[in-house]
Amino acid sequence: MTHSARATAALQALTEADPALAALALWCRHRDADRLPPLAETAGSVIRYGPGFAALPAHEQIGLAGHHILHVALQHSDRMAAMEARMGAAFAPDLWQIAADAIVNETILQAGHALPRPALRLGEVLGTLGEQTEGALAEWDCERLYGRLAGAADAAGRVRAQAQQSGHQPDLRPEAAQEGNAGDDKAEQGRAEWRAHLARAMAAGRGAGFGVGVLGARLADLPTPRVPWEHLLRRLLARATLPRPTVDPLRPARGWLAGAARAQVEGRALPPFQPRIRWQGPGGRVVLALDCSTSVTDDSLRLMMAEIHGIARRHQAALHLLSFDAAIHHDMALDPATARATLAALELPQGGGTDFRPVLARAVALAPSALVILSDMDGPFGELRPRFPVIWAAPQPDPPEAPFGRVLSLAV
């Protein structure tokens, strides 16, 4: 496909209007699309411009092109797909669209550009949510704003009505998710490349002293290099379930048997005894403990259940599920082939407090390779300290410390 003819003038004007956006535009693919309801849309690194884009005044074309260039540079499409994969059926794409557009619109307008009116702004959305609006670009990224919207049904309804009144149209399509390690590596390489593009473009903008580059250091939505908690969890589980050698002191090693036989034939003394080394079978066992107490919200519970299903779908270890609050309610083996149906049919009590002592004692009795406890960690831990790896997966952004094990935050 050829380069967009509709956006050519606006992209050329960016070289003088905003050096940072002009530099980032070079790494985007610009295309024309005749059948496109919004004025323009973003999918991955591709920006498509509809017929309505050409009818806009020049200054609004520049601002709208910059809007979509930022969608690409901030990887909103890729991050949308990642959030959808994480949340499953609970994901609300319209709220993600609102969060991404509010942040990008605020950035474009504060950089001194124009947008077609009315435009949804971050300050207005935060005002509807009852949040502080001063310095909002430095405080809110897309994941945090989406989590705030998704976690408050009443406020989300008001923001949806506000977006409708402002003529908001979805203009972001999720990038296709990659499967497997090769896909993860390719996606991370793409994210690293865009971080480098952003760093160079923002430096050029700061040097010029105007445009988006001046705001760059204050943008909380700039992608930062980090290892997603899903990758950390898989790495910890893979390490815990690797085959391990165990010594069998009552059985001799094959090498010792051969040496002993040769010594007898030759009339020599037997060699020092060597016990047989056995290896644990592949996969091992992972115990998954799900906290269903009243301290865990419905959204957190859905996130935990989605991650349990993800472990059952991806991992080769035998799985055992425990659901608990102050006592254990479910204690059963989990077949990965039927895990989704099993988890969907569970009747969780969601009542009472949390006590980790019974579930830790039961996990020790099962002798697993690893224990994953999905909980907000609000309860007594007791004195028992398992010898196998324990992973605490908590829904809050800053979970408390645990007296043992590794703590991961599942926060969006």
pTM, rounded to two decimals: 0.65
Burial of 54 by CB count in 10 Å (0-12 exposed, 13-18 middle, 19+ buried)? middle
d(CA 329, CA 358): 11
Spatial contact of 320 and 332, defined as CB atoms under 8 Å apart: yes
Give the per-residue pLDDT at 76.
93
Contact 140, 220 (CB under 8 A): yes
Please list the ranges in the chain whose pLDDT falls under 70: 1, 175-188, 217, 224-231, 234, 241-244, 279-283, 294-316, 340, 351, 411-412
Q: What is the pLDDT of residue 178?
A: 43
Q: What is the pLDDT of residue 182?
A: 43
Could you count the other beta carbons within 10 Å of the beta carbon of residue 293? Answer: 21
What pLDDT sits at residue 177? 44
pLDDT of res. 193: 85
The token duo for 132 is 């502080």
10 Å CB burial of residue 392 (0-12, 13-18, 19+) is: buried
What's the pLDDT at 94? Answer: 93
- What are the CA-CA distances from residue 1 to residues 43, 206, 372 (Å)? 15, 34, 49
pLDDT of residue 291: 87
Q: What is the pLDDT of residue 230?
A: 64
Domains of the chain listed by start with CATH number: 8-225 (no CATH), 246-279 (no CATH), 285-409 (3.40.50.410)
